[in-house]
Structure 1
């Protein structure tokens, strides 16, 4: 018998995935180029270059709780378009940033647009994906940002070194524009404005979704290790004499994600989150162990494959759990809560890894992180896993 599944690849789902891709491509594009621009072109200090990332993330984190509330009041499409306009306008302001101080302001504004847009995009994706295909759909949606993580840094560094700062900024503007254009193509049915009344709530409910917090904390715990890959894997490749393959790390990471996504998403929907999470944690730990001990290109890229299969599966799974654990009308706030806490983990991780890297080698740091990740199995179980296990038993008994 042929199983009739509700459609996943609708116009709105494709549109929000493309918009999300360009949004994150601009983010990663500038993530690797702005620090170089600050030091080499604005004569700034390395500490100031690092602050460019911190300021961007701080403004994104601060705006997300308000974004979730605004989405509940005005609708996700309205907030998405407003945020994409802010994001696009901020990308134009880089041409006017002729000092470090002005660039700080531009980064803060850009972070506001990014924080609002990612919250709205996640909310739209959650509402356009059929419930029966939630795991599969969220996996594909987040894959769009994974691809951006590969293309953005490669294109950014190529543009900066080969074509100059002006062309680099023009490409960033073009990417932000295509993100806005894709957002304009989205047409979702939402409650009429007069029917969309906010339910009175205390201040805690107004700024975050409490039911999304446990899994968000688990995500932030693992994000601390993931930040070490984002920040230092290229540096580490140079230290072990593998600079020539450093650019392929995230390519392998993305290819493994693409090949595994059809299976992991469907397994989530069939067997539940725990069936995916525990193996993914072990694969992530294995990837870090291989990375920390790698002395050849084969093992270095094998680490990318294991990390891609492990962390690349954990992140969309955690975000999907956060959304499903919350009431349907609180999907936007659940998304905002999850991403805000996750970004705190990334920011904290970048800071802690920087301190640790000054004391021990990156190889040892990656190796030791294996134990940290495995300890996360217990953390996840107590924060979220045991609850999902009970729910799965109830479903089986009811059936």
Structure 2
């Protein structure tokens, strides 16, 4: 484990870049795949949403096994397997023209992403000093935030300027080659091994129950946020605010880049509740404004509020899942957290796609606003009322 209080080590930086590119490919696709589906396969919005969400469903199922694999053989081997699978499935987008095979590849692509990202998240949890976990995970999660800005912006730019989806697929394949090469620079300080387990099946071999409460809240909020990711292009076109919508993720990311390290440090020093409740209130305010946007500045304001609210919540929630878990089960805690988070992200686009014909885009965003309000109560019941300011954080030794 760490023998210093340093966060930005060589391992941390390499894993930061790997996770950035993994997430960049994910967000580049998730922001364009629904449009690709409608234009190339002439699908409905619900099927387009399902095609977008299939990736996340694949990731969910893979995480279920990835946590146990890490528990048994170590995170470094699991990371290599995930990156190889990710490279192969990224390349297949270039060649597939049948919608059934496209669905299958989206599923397998999601599986490989789930395996690789669970491994990177576990290694990060191992190498960050325990007393700086909130801050360290806040920094690490900026790799995902950068990708949320660059991925959709780049994807929408390529589609609108060239209408060439093959260019997106080729770019992704090149980036997948790069991160496989970067893998060989990663050195995990100690290979974690699983303690002797009782024979027979147990759900605890796949799920870390201590991480489950905060993961459930993250699942609900992932479901909410997916409504923006999957349908922002359709929504802003319908309300005539495409230009403002194209800057949404860029502004969102800039806000998170500024505030996430601060909120992570606050969590380490003052506890999670001080950060979580204001974040959820700001997220709800941003979603309400977004649902009623009639001018470009309203989209921009929503991006700022959602960036501060949801953007800060996600890393704090992940830090909570790790903080409450013994070090030998960090792989299971990471997979449990992201498995439920992925479930929310995956079910969201399909569910909203079914609702859009009945209540419209503004309707689904009002539903999302109500769900955020419910999540505030849910957080209090599942974790908030029991949250303790564990200062300094336990080393789990």
Judged with a 3 Å threshold, the aligned counterparts in structure 2 of structure 1 residues 297 and 117 are, in CA distance, closer, same or farther, namely same
Could you tell me how far apart the structure 2 residues matched to 1:39 and 1:242 are?
21
The DSSP-based 3-state class of the residue aligned with 2:247 is helix
Deviates more, 1:223-232 or 1:70-79: 223-232
Residue 176 of structure 2: aligned partner = 176
Question: 4+ runs of 1 displaced by more than 6 Å?
Answer: none
Residue 154 of structure 2: aligned partner = 155
CA contact 2:45–2:353 (8 Å) conserved in 1: no
CA apart distance, 1:15:
0.8
Judged with a 3 Å threshold, the aligned counterparts in structure 2 of structure 1 residues 345 and 59 are, in CA distance, closer, same or farther, namely same
CA apart distance, 1:394:
12
The DSSP-based 3-state class of the residue aligned with 2:211 is helix
Judged with a 3 Å threshold, the aligned counterparts in structure 2 of structure 1 residues 206 and 296 are, in CA distance, closer, same or farther, namely same
Consecutive unaligned residues in structure 1, runs of 5 or more: none
Could you tell me how far apart the structure 2 residues matched to 1:319 and 1:119 are?
12
CA contact 2:255–2:307 (8 Å) conserved in 1: yes
Judged with a 3 Å threshold, the aligned counterparts in structure 2 of structure 1 residues 291 and 49 are, in CA distance, closer, same or farther, namely closer
Could you tell me how far apart the structure 1 residues matched to 2:387 and 2:268 are?
13
Residue 293 of structure 1: aligned partner = 292
Q: Trace 1:1-399 onto structure 2 (pairs within 5 A).
A: 6-41=5-40, 48-160=47-159, 161-162=161-162, 164-191=164-191, 196-200=194-198, 202-367=201-366, 369-389=368-388
Could you tell me how far apart the structure 1 residues matched to 2:156 and 2:291 are?
25
Could you tell me how far apart the structure 1 residues matched to 2:70 and 2:361 are?
42
CA apart distance, 1:196:
5.0
CA RMSD of aligned residues (A): 2.3
CA contact 1:291–1:367 (8 Å) conserved in 2: no
Judged with a 3 Å threshold, the aligned counterparts in structure 2 of structure 1 residues 20 and 139 are, in CA distance, closer, same or farther, namely same
Judged with a 3 Å threshold, the aligned counterparts in structure 2 of structure 1 residues 376 and 37 are, in CA distance, closer, same or farther, namely closer
The DSSP-based 3-state class of the residue aligned with 1:189 is coil
CA apart distance, 1:95:
2.6
CA apart distance, 1:270:
0.5
Could you tell me how far apart the structure 1 residues matched to 2:338 and 2:77 are?
20
CA apart distance, 1:316:
0.8
Could you tell me how far apart the structure 2 residues matched to 1:9 and 1:393 are?
22
Could you tell me how far apart the structure 1 residues matched to 2:355 and 2:35 are?
23
Consecutive unaligned residues in structure 2, runs of 5 or more: none
Could you tell me how far apart the structure 2 residues matched to 1:237 and 1:383 are?
35
CA apart distance, 1:365:
3.8
CA apart distance, 1:361:
3.7
Could you tell me how far apart the structure 1 residues matched to 2:277 and 2:266 are?
13
Question: What whole-Å deviation, never above 9, does each CA across 1:125-170 have from its counterpart, x for those lacking one?
Answer: 1111111111111111111111111211222233345273432221
Judged with a 3 Å threshold, the aligned counterparts in structure 2 of structure 1 residues 348 and 329 are, in CA distance, closer, same or farther, namely same
Could you tell me how far apart the structure 1 residues matched to 2:29 and 2:300 are?
25
Structure number having the greater helix percentage = 1
Could you tell me how far apart the structure 2 residues matched to 1:352 and 1:170 are?
30
CA apart distance, 1:294:
2.5
CA apart distance, 1:198:
4.7
Judged with a 3 Å threshold, the aligned counterparts in structure 2 of structure 1 residues 238 and 321 are, in CA distance, closer, same or farther, namely same
Deviates more, 1:40-49 or 1:292-301: 40-49
CA contact 2:82–2:116 (8 Å) conserved in 1: yes
Could you tell me how far apart the structure 2 residues matched to 1:112 and 1:307 are?
28
Judged with a 3 Å threshold, the aligned counterparts in structure 2 of structure 1 residues 307 and 338 are, in CA distance, closer, same or farther, namely same
Could you tell me how far apart the structure 2 residues matched to 1:393 and 1:188 are?
27
Judged with a 3 Å threshold, the aligned counterparts in structure 2 of structure 1 residues 262 and 63 are, in CA distance, closer, same or farther, namely closer
